[in-house]
Amino acid sequence: MKITNEIVKNHGLTTLEFKEIKSLIGREPNLVELGIFSAMWNEHCSYKSSKVHLKKLPTKNEIVIQGPGENAGVIDIKDGDAIVFKIESHNHPSYIEPFQGAATGVGGILRDVFTMGARPIALLNSIHFGDVNHKKTKHLLNGVVSGIGGYGNCIGIPTVAGETKFNESYNENILVNAMAVGLAKKDKIFYSKAKGINKPVVYVGSKTGRDGIHGASMASAEFDENSEEKKPTVQVGDPFTEKLLLESCLELMKDKSIIAIQDMGAAGLTSSSVEMASKGGLGIELELNKVPTREQDMTPYEIMLSESQERMLIILEEGKEDYAKKIFEKWDLDFSIIGKTTATNRLVLKFDNETVADLPLSALSDKAPMYERKSKKIKLPKKFDYKDKIKKFEIKDLILKLISHPNFNNKNWITSQFDQLVMGDTILRSGSDAAIIKAHDTNKGIAVTVDSSAKFCAAFPLYGGKQIIAECWRNLIAVGAKPLAVTNCLNFGNPENPEIMGQFTDCLKGMKEACEFLNMPIVSGNVSFYNGTNQKNIDPTPVIGGVGLIANLDRKLIDHKLKKEGNIIIKIGKTFGHLYQSALFLEILNLKDGPPPEVNLTNEKNNGEMILKLISGNLIESCHDISSGGTIMSLFEMAIGGNLGLKINKLKSTQNHIEYFFGEDQGRYLIEVSKANLSKVIELLKKDSIAYQEIATVIKENIELESFFEFKISELDNLNQKWFNDYNAN
């Protein structure tokens, strides 16, 4: 077949890139070879627009065993134990086919984790949808939630935490980010780097079909009015087969049989074989007739580019073939020796006794394009005078509007569809600042959280990047966990747009500064570009998954729920009343201008370390970080969670009540302290010069502030659940 300009374009390659391909291989590629280049050089696999910037991020410290570059990151939690974790996007597939897109996103991230030798112990998600009244939103919401729950529940891994947000920015391009966390022994970590010559290359798992062909390329392009036509590029998942694959791989890993192992994820057999051989500086030869297929007459092109799910590529030690085969056949999975490693540094594909592709591996990996795209510097928005705009509003009315808003409404309708307790190790789950899972057969608690920062990044990405790392830090701190490391999923628009690239680079600068200061390296992650339709891009949405450690679960568990009448609520951190880019301004008053709050990393660190000191000293009863919605929403969440009320102290006359209660200054917490511990807590706060303020007393059933408002907890709880209940009832 003659390769035309149209064929090149349809493969997501530019004219210049095609010219470079011809130069690298010394000839024109055939269609199979073009498909392979298309897969390996697309944005999703090559990171060609982001790699130069990602290299600047902090990825190492004393606990990092494996940083970016493998299937997942690995950190040391002592006693021979390791945590393996990663977050990834499945945005485009989920918009096209929400159930399967979300389901296979969960399946893919699980394989990334157990491929490293870890047993998955928890799932999390960050999902973003368009305006609630948009014609597609309800359909997409229902499909995605069902897909996440359907896959996680069936495979038997708890979905313990997540977030769901609505904003018109995602009307035509939703975000579905899935995170998985696993537990492994640090001396039993498995990698994808091939070693040795003439080692058997083995295909295991499900058979290969035609689903998902060009899935990675589809994820590397904007949507248009024809996006519905891309449904064939969405993979189809089977959680029951994944369970079999998980158990069989972990069983094989008990023996010294595996040299290298790689999930067949994006770009399927192409990316797995190329990456394994390239990392090892070897070549690889595959006989495509030996690949198990479930459809007749599949071509080499289809076999190499299929993204059928629940498949692995393994390089075995010689002599271990029969042993491995028995394991996979016992689990009723396909096992086929489809090739061998070579010393040629080339990818050679054979089909029907003919060579259908012969490419230098360096051209597919090391020499893939890497662009430093033009970027536009994003300026800090100016403040504006809003005093006249807010003075007409009553605090009570604003509270009722905010607590009823879809972004603040109780998400029980969603979380009730996820099994959060399967495996029996979930200690703290959805609704808390972070979830806690017991590391099985130990007394350690693994704290996990997932957070995003679209609104702050859209306004000023440098601050937004700092903020989302700090938010992750606070959420882990609030449950008494020492923050350890993070994984990121960077969801942005078209990188060829200088403004989008400016958002991306400035956001990374902010993340870098915060990660370095707080000693939280980024050990894994994913970049998702081209999120938009017809050149209308999403708001920049970095999503951060964080992992922390509770060394001993014998201590009192801390969550955000109020515990006892008579206890005192203390606010930690300074309140300046920053309303610009707050939930109140954006969601209720439609005031979209102004700068986001600054992030003082010194205060973040000092305040967080003080909270950990108070928790370890058994001096507080509950804790909650102050984030979206400000002080008032955090107070309400504590009250509703504990089914107890609050008598809020009257403010100083000089303080503006709306600024005080709704402002979103960073670095703040609410802590509940018993009267018996109050003097000791205040003494410690003063000693370390931590800003604090006693702001409320726990009472029986009302939340009240003299002359401003009085609510029954039951009324607030009902109101907090009403929108979602009504939305899904219609």
Closest CA to 289 of 361, 351, 229: 351
For residue 19, pLDDT beyond 50? yes
Taking a C-beta distance cutoff of 8 angstroms, is the pair 177, 538 a contact? no
pLDDT bin (cut points 50, 70, 90) of residue 324 is very high
The CA distances from residue 646 to 234, 639, 669, 720, in Å, are: 50, 7, 16, 17
Q: Which long-range contacts (CB under 8 A, 24 or more apart) does 429-432 make?
A: 429/158, 429/160, 429/161, 430/160, 430/161, 430/162, 431/560, 431/641, 432/161, 432/479, 432/559, 432/560
Q: Which long-range contacts (CB under 8 A, 24 or more apart) does 223-226 make?
A: 223/92, 223/95, 223/172, 223/173, 223/532, 223/533, 223/534, 224/533, 224/534, 225/534
For the entire predicted model, the pTM comes to 0.95
Q: What is the pLDDT of residue 144?
A: 97
Taking a C-beta distance cutoff of 8 angstroms, is the pair 436, 550 a contact? yes
**Residue bearing the bigger pLDDT, 675 or 429:** 675
The partner residues of 258 in beta bridges, in order of sequence, read 316
Question: Which one-letter DSSP state was computed for residue 701?
Answer: S
Query: Mean of the per-residue pLDDT values for the chain?
Result: 94
CA-CA distance, 696 to 717, in Å (whole number)? Answer: 19
pLDDT bin (cut points 50, 70, 90) of residue 375 is very high
Express each pLDDT in 208-236 by its tens digit: 998 878 654 444 456 555 545 544 557 78
The CA distances from residue 288 to 265, 303, 339, 349, 357, in Å, are: 18, 7, 9, 7, 11
Taking a C-beta distance cutoff of 8 angstroms, is the pair 345, 248 a contact? no
Express each pLDDT in 251-275 by its tens digit: 999 999 999 999 998 889 999 999 9
Q: Could you give the percent of the chain with pLDDT greater than 70?
A: 97
CA-CA distance, 218 to 39, in Å (whole number)? Answer: 10
Question: Which one-letter DSSP state was computed for residue 443?
Answer: S
- When pLDDT is averaged across residues 466-471 and rounded to a whole number, the result is 98
Q: What is the pLDDT of residue 226?
A: 52
Taking a C-beta distance cutoff of 8 angstroms, is the pair 265, 274 a contact? no
Active-site residue (options: 53, 90, 92, 578)? 90
The CA distances from residue 26 to 13, 360, 655, in Å, are: 18, 10, 73
How many CB atoms are closer than 10 A to CB 519? 15
3-state secondary structure of 688: coil
| 290: enclosing H helix or E strand | none
- When pLDDT is averaged across residues 276-297 and rounded to a whole number, the result is 96
CA-CA distance, 38 to 40, in Å (whole number)? Answer: 6
Say if residue 482 is exposed, middle or buried (CB neighbours under 10 Å; 0-12, 13-18, 19+).
middle
- When pLDDT is averaged across residues 653-679 and rounded to a whole number, the result is 95
For residue 645, pLDDT beyond 50? yes
Q: What is the pLDDT of residue 652?
A: 82
Amino acid at site 665: D
For residue 624, pLDDT beyond 70? yes
Sequence length of the chain is 730
For residue 573, pLDDT beyond 80? yes
CA-CA distance, 493 to 500, in Å (whole number)? Answer: 6
Joined together, the tokens standing for residue 239 give 């959680």
Express each pLDDT in 515-555 by its tens digit: 999 999 999 999 999 999 888 999 999 999 999 999 999 98
Say if residue 26 is exposed, middle or buried (CB neighbours under 10 Å; 0-12, 13-18, 19+).
exposed
pLDDT bin (cut points 50, 70, 90) of residue 40 is very high
Q: What are phi and psi of 421, to 5 degrees?
A: -115, -10
Q: What is the pLDDT of residue 221?
A: 55
- When pLDDT is averaged across residues 372-391 and rounded to a whole number, the result is 94
**Residue bearing the bigger pLDDT, 722 or 501:** 501
Q: Could you give the percent of the chain with pLDDT greater than 90?
A: 89
Q: What is the pLDDT of residue 267?
A: 86
- By DSSP bridging, strand 283-287 and strand 426-428 are unpaired
Q: What is the pLDDT of residue 431?
A: 85
The partner residues of 451 in beta bridges, in order of sequence, read 544
- When pLDDT is averaged across residues 328-351 and rounded to a whole number, the result is 97
Q: What is the pLDDT of residue 213?
A: 82
Q: Among this protein's residues, is 214 annotated catalytic?
A: no
Q: What is the pLDDT of residue 534?
A: 86
Closest CA to 39 of 336, 275, 290, 354: 275
Q: Among this protein's residues, is 405 annotated catalytic?
A: no
Radius of gyration of the chain (CA): 26
Q: What is the pLDDT of residue 1?
A: 74
Active-site residue (options: 44, 214, 578, 624)? 44
Q: What is the pLDDT of residue 575?
A: 95
Q: What are phi and psi of 690, to 5 degrees?
A: -90, 125
- When pLDDT is averaged across residues 54-64 and rounded to a whole number, the result is 97
3-state secondary structure of 248: helix
Taking a C-beta distance cutoff of 8 angstroms, is the pair 214, 81 a contact? no
- By DSSP bridging, strand 354-360 and strand 522-528 are unpaired
Phi-psi region of 110 (alpha: psi -120 to 50; beta: other; left: phi over 0): alpha
Q: What are phi and psi of 374, to 5 degrees?
A: -60, 140
